[in-house]
Amino acid sequence: MAEAARPDSIDGLFARYGPAYRYWVTLTAMMGTISTVLTATIINVALPDIMGAFGMGQDTAQLLSTGFLAAMTGTMLLNAWLVDAVGQRATYLIAMGVFSAASILGGLATGETLLITARLLQGAAAGILQPLAMQVIFQVFPPERRGSAMGVYGIGVVLAPALGPTLGGLLVDSFSWRYVFFIALPFSLLGPFLALLFMPGRTHDGPIRRFDWLGFALLTVFLVTLLDGLSSGQREGWRSDAILVEFSVAIVSVVAFVVWEFRTATPLLNLGLFSRRVFSSAAVVAFIFGAGIYGSTYLIPLFVQTIQGYTPTRSGLLLMPAGFVLALVFPLAGRATDRTPPPLTMSLGLALFALSCFLMTAADTDTPFWTFAGWIVVGRIGLGLVLPSLNAGALAALPQTLLGQGSGAINFVRQLGGAFGVNGLSLLLSDSTQRYAQAFTAAQDGSHTGTTAFLQASTSLLAQSGLAAPERQAVAGRYLDQVIAVQSQMMGFRESFLSVALLFLAALLPTLLMAGAARRRAAAAR
């Protein structure tokens, strides 16, 4: 029987459901996208409560964010093989089943080991689901409408992390941190039901191609050792034997991975994709995009809770206006991608996000809620402009036969950027905070007129409150230490926001290269 006549093929499903099928299958794919991306960021506002519940340190708690992203990155390249082996429908059902089970496990966890295991399983399932959504959309929409389709898809990719902290804050304050694991269950349980109706099955009946187990193992070793080394380096010492061994293993494993991927007949990651200048330029932008969206979503709730004393709910509400704006921007950005060169839209989006982060370098303890929310809106508009054009521009450079591998690769690179972004910004924040604290403390030598005036004013207020004279100086000194600590943290955050702004400005260079390569390819085709 011809493939077009198969009832579970895309052509067969179009014949059954008509033109509306492409929207039904897009909705199905987005159930997985929303579930996984929502879960990726919602944990951030719950970290202080989780740390208190299990007595976890900052380095261990960080694994709940970075471990999810690392697992998601590692399994993202499994997608192409799974789809070839069992089809899109079965791949979707397997991943959503694992994700739902992991969400329940995390919500019921009685210890930090189970909690981290649940996050790793959630991330592993998310890595399989992310490329699948983009691949399906590209198969059911014609080339001239893919930008609009990417705009709809992008709502799930960026709107979910924007609204996740808001919902998470409400759940933490009203119920418990455990509910941040349960919130995605309605989407992850509805998705499989829709998949049975609308997801296509396996496209051929041939033998299953061999899986690149060695490549997968080398990639896993690289991610685990590098990210663990980065997260533990400050605690253990960057030159300690354990950290140096981890970094050495990471370098050896990634070199071995690249060499093996060029030699094997069935590579986990088709490195030949990156020989295409448009695709490789888009991959660089995707890496920076991932670092920016996940890094900023990590930094902003942390800033307003530690520096401005926001509750989890209030810190989540800070991101809500940006979420609503994104819902309006994405469809418009998708249509703009269909009508304008993708690099043009990308450049505008990158510049807006850089501006947003630069504005945040002025944040302090007194920054008004709506001022900060406005800065975030500017940045999210930028991200909304980048994603549809980035995906459409990257995959437009590939033939139909490489769409699955290209989708997996571009999502892999974006998530890799997210994992490194959260780790890198966490390290930068900690290092710069310590640096400023040392500088501020060194300046308190008794000759600083501002310090002297501060201590005199503090002791005077303490005297008015009735505190005994011997205790006033000690209390005033402790208060000064607290002020220095907060000021140091604030300067550390400012430096981190500035770094993200500069990173996004640097992404304009590969965007220009992408535009030039696209023009040359179009001229050669004429």
> Residue 74, by phi and psi: left (phi above 0), alpha (psi -120 to 50) or beta?
alpha
Q: How many CA within 13 A on the CB side of residue 433?
A: 17
Please indicate, yes or no, whether residues 101 and 36 belong to a single structural domain of this protein.
Answer: yes
The verdict on residue 442 lying in a domain is: no
- What SS3 class is residue 467? coil
Taking only the tens place, the pLDDT of each residue in 13-71 is 777 777 778 888 888 888 888 788 777 777 777 777 787 777 766 666 767 777 787 78
Contacts of 181 by beta carbon, 8 Å cutoff, 6+ apart: 39, 103, 104, 106, 107, 118
The verdict on residue 462 lying in a domain is: no
- Whole-number pLDDT of residue 251: 92
pLDDT at 525 over 60: no
> Residue 46, by phi and psi: left (phi above 0), alpha (psi -120 to 50) or beta?
alpha
- Whole-number pLDDT of residue 149: 67
Please indicate, yes or no, whether residues 296 and 224 belong to a single structural domain of this protein.
Answer: no
Q: What is the C-alpha separation between 511 and 526, in angstroms, rounded?
A: 23
The verdict on residue 324 lying in a domain is: yes
Retrieve residue 206's tokens. Answer: 């041939």
Q: Which residues of 121-157 are buried (b: 16+ CB within 10 A; e: fewer)?
A: bbbbbbbbbbbbbbbbbbbbbeeeebbbbbbbbbbbb
Please indicate, yes or no, whether residues 242 and 348 belong to a single structural domain of this protein.
Answer: no
- What SS3 class is residue 64? helix
H or E stretch covering 296: helix 277-306
Q: What is the C-alpha separation between 521 and 519, in angstroms, rounded?
A: 5
How far out from the chain centre does Cα 396 lie? 24
- In residues, how long is the chain? 526
How distant, in Å, are the alpha carbons of 445, 474, 480 from that of 442?
A: 7, 18, 13
Please indicate, yes or no, whether residues 125 and 182 belong to a single structural domain of this protein.
Answer: yes
Please indicate, yes or no, whether residues 290 and 415 belong to a single structural domain of this protein.
Answer: yes
Q: What is the C-alpha separation between 288 and 514, in angstroms, rounded?
A: 15
The verdict on residue 480 lying in a domain is: no
- The total of structural domains in the chain comes to 2
Please indicate, yes or no, whether residues 166 and 308 belong to a single structural domain of this protein.
Answer: yes
The verdict on residue 457 lying in a domain is: no
Q: Of 250, 265, 280, which one is at a domain's C-terminal end?
A: 265
pTM of the model: 0.73
Alpha helices by DSSP H, listed for 397-447, are 403-442
Q: Of 265, 281, 301, which one is at a domain's C-terminal end?
A: 265
Q: Is the distance from CB of 190 to CB of 242 less than 8 angstroms?
A: no
Taking only the tens place, the pLDDT of each residue in 488-501 is 888 888 888 898 89
H or E stretch covering 206: none
Compute the radius of gyration of the chain from its Cα atoms: 25
Once rounded to an integer, what is the mean pLDDT over residues 198-202? Answer: 77
Please indicate, yes or no, whether residues 233 and 217 belong to a single structural domain of this protein.
Answer: yes
Sign of the torsion angle spanned by Cα atoms 237, 243, 247, 250: negative
How distant, in Å, are the alpha carbons of 243, 246, 498 from that of 229?
A: 5, 6, 25
Sign of the torsion angle spanned by Cα atoms 43, 218, 247, 411: negative
Please indicate, yes or no, whether residues 200 and 99 belong to a single structural domain of this protein.
Answer: yes
Q: What is the CATH number of the domain that holds 296?
A: 1.20.1250.20
Q: What is the C-alpha separation between 91 and 83, in angstroms, rounded?
A: 6
Range of the domain at 44: 3-211+266-437+486-525
Tokens 């697992």 correspond to what residue? 71
Taking only the tens place, the pLDDT of each residue in 218-249 is 988 888 888 777 777 766 777 788 888 888 99
Sign of the torsion angle spanned by Cα atoms 299, 300, 302, 303: positive
The verdict on residue 248 lying in a domain is: yes
Tokens 């991101």 correspond to what residue? 319
**Banded pLDDT at 414 (limits 50, 70, 90):** confident
Q: What is the mean pLDDT of the chain?
A: 78
Once rounded to an integer, what is the mean pLDDT over residues 78-85? Answer: 78
- Whole-number pLDDT of residue 161: 59
Retrieve residue 389's tokens. Answer: 């054009």
Retrieve residue 168's tokens. Answer: 């998470």
pLDDT at 5 over 80: no
Taking only the tens place, the pLDDT of each residue in 136-173 is 877 777 766 666 666 666 666 666 656 666 777 777 87
The verdict on residue 481 lying in a domain is: no
In one-letter notation, the amino acid at residue 261 is: E
In one-letter notation, the amino acid at residue 278 is: V
Please indicate, yes or no, whether residues 185 and 99 belong to a single structural domain of this protein.
Answer: yes
Once rounded to an integer, what is the mean pLDDT over residues 75-95? Answer: 82
How far out from the chain centre does Cα 302 lie? 16
Contacts of 114 by beta carbon, 8 Å cutoff, 6+ apart: 105, 106
Taking only the tens place, the pLDDT of each residue in 327-382 is 778 777 767 766 777 778 888 889 999 999 999 988 888 888 899 889 988 988 88
Q: What is the C-alpha separation between 305 and 508, in angstroms, rounded?
A: 32
DSSP 142: -
- Whole-number pLDDT of residue 482: 67
Please indicate, yes or no, whether residues 235 and 188 belong to a single structural domain of this protein.
Answer: no
Please indicate, yes or no, whether residues 284 and 409 belong to a single structural domain of this protein.
Answer: yes
- Whole-number pLDDT of residue 101: 92
How distant, in Å, are the alpha carbons of 117, 234, 328, 451 from that of 225?
A: 17, 15, 41, 45
H or E stretch covering 485: helix 469-506
Q: Of 224, 242, 265, which one is at a domain's C-terminal end?
A: 265
DSSP 340: S
Retrieve residue 214's tokens. Answer: 């060695």
- Direct distance between the N- and C-terminal alpha carbons of the chain, in angstroms, rounded to an integer: 39
Q: What is the C-alpha separation between 116 and 307, in angstroms, rounded?
A: 27
H or E stretch covering 365: none
- Whole-number pLDDT of residue 521: 58
pLDDT at 186 over 50: yes
- What SS3 class is residue 310? coil
**Banded pLDDT at 256 (limits 50, 70, 90):** very high
The verdict on residue 242 lying in a domain is: yes
Please indicate, yes or no, whether residues 194 and 220 belong to a single structural domain of this protein.
Answer: no
